[in-house]
A and B are shown apart, each in its own frame.
Chain A
Amino acid sequence: MLTLSIENLVVRVPDLQQPVLVIDRLDVAAGQHLAVTGGSGSGKSTLLNILSGLERVREGRVLWNASDIAPLSESGRDRWRARNVGLVMQDFHLFPGLTALANVLLPARLAGAADAAILARAHDLLARVGLSRPDQRIETMSRGEMQRVAIARALLRRPGVIIADEPTASLDVESGAAVGDLLLEVAAETRSTLIVASHDPRLVERLDRRLSLAAGRIVADNAASEVAA
């Protein structure tokens, strides 16, 4: 479980005068399930990239368990992400030619962290997400099954935070619902902080806290509303 604190975050991109994301303050409690919503270009993906260390923080602070990731180098952020973040993406980003098990294990193997315990956990996770054929090649799976493999991969190294970017967007209603259920269940089971960017109202409304972005700014936060109330 990781707590998140963002302070005075400003993200700019070249050739644009206005920043694409400005967050003066945001705190997310450990184990909280946060939904980030907003239209296209609202800054959702930028926020997730900043939170996961994919993009460098140049202005402001992003503290996970009170540790700022802004000063970390590119390689340092890679290592931090590998240890702490489980990523689930809309396009799965699975690697064809490999089995489900090999896909789950790939990042750990590339990081030199795939020991016997990790292998056993990969088998357990695939069983947990409802896949009974770990040796099935990824390209022969349905999209729903692929996203299950992606969730298993995200959970492999017991991340403190699961960050999901539109995890149900490329799935049919039924598969989307099942994947949503699964995400919430495994996050609860592992007590991970869960941050989901989504347009899927059925998934969003099931999360503890909902944050709405527009033009790179937080325009609604139900937690703040509740506090105010």
Chain B
Amino acid sequence: MISFVLADLRRLWLGAFVLVLLVALATALGVAVTVQERALRLGSARAADRFDLVVGAAGSETQLVLSSVFLQPSPLPLMPGAVLAKLAADPRVAWAAPVGFGDSFMGYPIIGTTTALVKGTTTGFAEGGLFAHEGEAIVGAAVHLPLGAEIKPMHGTAETGGETHTEIAYRVVGRVKPTGTPWDRAILVPVQAVWHIHGLGHDDHGDHDDDHHAGGEDGDHAADAAHLPAHADGAVAGHDEAGHDADHHEGDHHEAGEHGADDHDEHDHDGDGHHHGHIDPDGALNEVFTDQAPGLPAILVKPKTIADAYRLRQEYRTAGTLAVFPGEVLTRLYGTLGDAKMVLSAVAAGSQALVAAALLLVSVIHVTQRRRQIGALRAFGAPRLAVFGIVWSELFVLVLIGIALGFGGGYLAARLIGDAFTRQTGVILPVEFAAEDGGMALILLAIGMVFAAIPALMAYRQSPAQALRS
């Protein structure tokens, strides 16, 4: 029977190929949607896993997490630098690290932060070590820059474009081991350097650069500059103040102005009012933050205990600040993702139903066209069950191959999409099959078995004499 089935499939290879292709495409669509959605959930959850609590200015929780954990450039309102000082001194906090962003280099975001964050969120260095001076940078595992490379920060992102600080260069001194998070494709520099570049912050290293610190700038300038790290594609790139949220703008300027005015470094103004500061590449790090620290878009906090985490989140949910567990925000996002998955799954199921209908139609036509052959088989003594088996197995083999190819193709598509996503965001998407996929395969196979039985039953019930006469 097998040789007969194979000979038949060889003879009708084009039709068989098209059937397999249809089944494979419909299956692949469903598999890709399912596997990709799961990978996105797992990948994003794992990426956020290292960050227990994020504190930012009052605003969108989702935006705060996307910007601070997933490093997606977007304008965030600022909170007073005093929040950082308070958190750093809190006995319930293991470490609290500021996150300053807005600049980039070769498409990689430059993140101003502290050594505490690097130590607390990475598993060590693949090469080199931590930054120890203001002009030093470390890179994520996916950043294609060698140790010793110079980094000239550009305002904003590569997409939005912006002015490059040609007079300032960081030097790469370390590469952290892969973390599977967007931080793998980030360049980390001391936050004080980010502040200084933008003409903010106190002069913590009094042994040099005194001539840079004139101070006493007007509050408006300081406020404007205080926004710089927080406005990746607006204020930083072009200082498009019109793009700021009015409420935030007002409040934040006020807050940042208070803190920034006194500490404002001597700076240059470019044509559109952008503030240029300077860094001392050899300046020592100062990671002791006071109430005078410039305004900040986000602070990543590592509470000592779970209870502390909940208390801190409660305490920092005020009119001016917002504290969130990234996992909590992601859960809400997954709800939206789930809706999208439902729509895509419905589309996939619809396409599978269409393919099933087409398959049924084609197979019924095929059996009708082969009536004489089937009649002859019966006439020469083939049992009815054997005829049923031939028709059923021919169709089921095609369905089986289609489903197998569909699973392979869907997985491959999800991997390709996942890889592209990882290249773009740094989030590693764990594209893998789960036990429930086996269930889906079994359901598809069961449907295939039932569908293949319909034309087989037609062949089974066919009168050989009538078939031979046709």
Interface residues of A, Cβ cutoff 8 Å to B: 45, 49, 52, 54-55, 74-75, 78-79, 81-83, 85, 87, 89, 91, 93, 95-98, 102, 106-111, 153, 157
A95 to B382 CA separation, bound complex (whole angstroms): 13
B380 neighbours in A (Cβ, 8 Å): 82, 87, 93, 106-107, 153
* Given contact pairs A93-B372, A110-B386, A82 touches B11 in the complex (Cβ within 8 A): no
The answer on a CB contact under 8 Å between B373 and A93 is: yes
Bound complex: CA A83 to CA B372 (Å)? 22
Whether the pair A95, B3 counts as a contact (CB closer than 8 A) is no
B377 interface contact, C-beta 8 A: yes
B383 in complex: contacting residue of A54, A55, A75, A157, CB < 8 Å: A75
Tell whether A110 pairs with B373 under 8 Å between CB atoms, given A95-B7, A96-B11, A97-B10: no
Does chain A have a CB within 8 A of B147? no
List A contacts of B4 (CB < 8 A).
95, 98, 102, 106, 109-110
Minimum CB distance partner of B3 in chain A:
A102
Given contacts A93-B373, A102-B3, contact A81 B383 (CB under 8 A): no
Distance of A91 Cα from B387 Cα, bound (Å): 20
Q: Which residues of A contact B373 (CB under 8 A)?
A: 93, 95
CB B179 to nearest CB in A, in angstroms, measures: 57
Name the A residues within 8 Å of B384 (CB-CB): 74-75, 78
Q: Which residues of B contact A87 (CB under 8 A)?
A: 379-380
Dominant SS at the A interface?
Answer: helix
Chain B residue numbers with a CB within 8 Å of A98 are: 3-4, 7
| Most chain B C-beta atoms within 10 Å of own C-beta, residue among A45, A93, A102, A111 | A93
> Closest Cβ of chain B: how far from A136's Cβ, in Å?
14
Structural contact, A81 and B465, CB atoms closer than 8 A:
no
Q: Is B11 within 8 A of A81, CB to CB? A: no
Given contacts A97-B8, A102-B3, contact A110 B379 (CB under 8 A): no
What are 14 residue pairs bridging A and B, where the CB atoms are less than 8 Å apart in the complex? A45-B469, A54-B464, A75-B383, A82-B380, A93-B372, A93-B376, A95-B4, A96-B7, A98-B4, A106-B380, A109-B4, A110-B377, A110-B381, A111-B383
CB distance from A134 to the nearest CB of B (A): 14
Q: In the complex the two chains form, what is the Cα distance from A93 to B374 in whole Å?
A: 10
Known: A54-B464, A75-B383, A98-B3; 18 extra A-B contacts, CB below 8 A, are A49-B465, A52-B379, A54-B468, A55-B465, A74-B384, A82-B380, A82-B383, A89-B376, A93-B372, A93-B376, A95-B4, A95-B373, A102-B3, A102-B7, A110-B1, A110-B381, A110-B382, A110-B386
Q: State whether the Cβ of B378 lies closer than 8 Å to any Cβ in chain A.
A: yes
- With the chains together, A87 CA to B390 CA distance in Å? 21
| A-chain residues with CB within 8 Å of residue B463 when the two chains form the complex | 54-55
Residues of B with C-beta under 8 A to A111: 381-383, 386
B383, A110: Cβ atoms closer than 8 Å: yes
- Assembly CA distance A85 to B380 (angstroms): 8
Name which residue of chain A comes closest to B10, CB basis.
A97
* Binary per-residue interface labels of chain B (192-211) against chain A in the complex, 1 for a CB within 8 Å, 0 otherwise: 00000000000000000000
A43 CA / B465 CA spacing, docked (Å): 14
Residues of A within 8 A of B390 (CB): 110
Bound-state Cα–Cα, A109 to B465, Å: 22
Q: Which 4 A-B pairs give the minimum distances between C-beta atoms?
A: A82-B381, A97-B7, A93-B376, A110-B382
**CB-CB < 8 A to A45: which residues of B?**
469
If A54-B464, A55-B465 touch, does A109 touch B381 (CB 8 Å cutoff)? no
Q: How far is the CB of B13 from chain A (nearest CB, A)?
A: 10
Nearest residue, chain A, Cβ from B376: A93
Interface flags, B449-464, vs A, CB<8A=1, else 0: 0000000000000011
Closest partner residue, chain B, to A73 (CB atom): B384
Interface contact B11-A97, CB-CB below 8 Å: yes
Q: Chain B residues near A78 (CB, 8 Å)?
A: 378, 381-384
Contacting residue for A81 out of B3, B8, B10, B381, CB 8 A: B381
> Measured between C-beta atoms, what is the minimum distance from A35 to chain B in Å?
21
Question: Residues of A contacting B464 with CB < 8 Å?
Answer: 54
The docked-state distance in angstroms from the alpha carbon of A58 to that of B174 is: 94
